[in-house]
Structure 1
Amino acid sequence: MKNKDSALTTLSEEAQLPNFIASNLRLLRKQAGWSQTELAEKVGLNRGNIASYESGSAEPSICKLLRISNLFDISTRDFTRLDLSDSAELALARSKRQAEQVERFDAYRKRKAELDHLISSSYDLFRYKRESLDKPCKEAELFAGHYLQLLELSRQLLKEHESLLGELGCQEH
């Protein structure tokens, strides 16, 4: 009878996923024409970090990996799991990342339109209810004041959301 621990160890050793962080980092840095120091400056690290990652003696934290993969316009999954020395694989990884970004921005624009409609509908209902009251009580006026403050805040947040979409270059023209 096999020991449970040895079975788990064997299983985990067999199930190891490939890790291409070191080779991909070196490859992409050299393709960009950057020294380790230049790359480090671009992602807020020091040259020693980059050297350690490229040699495989250390791996970046998820936050550092995100900064690095974003700089090279590749998803963290593709950066760590694909051998990007194949130019077709690299092109596919970049186009996939761009398609994901377009899809995400489309979802943000759609959500903005939904929120805009919701806020407008809410205000229309508020106006209708307010106009249908003959003589509103003090409580109703207090609630109306609070609602109008929330409405203004909601509109401001929506405007900020729209501004961010515009800055990212994904606003419909």
Structure 2
Amino acid sequence: MSLETKLRKLREQKGWSQMDVAHQLDISQSAYNKWEAGQAKPTLQNLQKIAEIFEIDFIDLVQAQIPNIDLSNAKFENSQSLIFDSTIENINYSSPELADKILENQQQMAKLMENQNKLIEILLKK
């Protein structure tokens, strides 16, 4: 099943509009519409978010698409990750917020690495 068909079916199963899904993904409705229409493909980060909001396994979402996934845009765009710059000396290392953010980033990285490993395993089997 194509990704666009899978996205539409998952959305319809939840009874959500395209706007509902776009809002949860923090993207425009027109961007999401392009994914369902097959006119554009979501980034790996957005695929992970899609799997989470539809409560499905990432691999189940992308398995049929693996040969077609565009990895050229597999960056951490708009990532919530901490960025350390020249103001590093001003960071309060005992801050609970910093510790929470670091833990959150570690969890996100672990999820991405787990999914990357699954993709590699599938590609090696082909």
Greater helix content: 1
Structure ranking higher on relative contact order (CA contacts 8 Å, 6+ apart): 2
TM-score by length of 1: 0.36
TM-score by length of 2: 0.48
Rg (Cα) greater in structure: 1
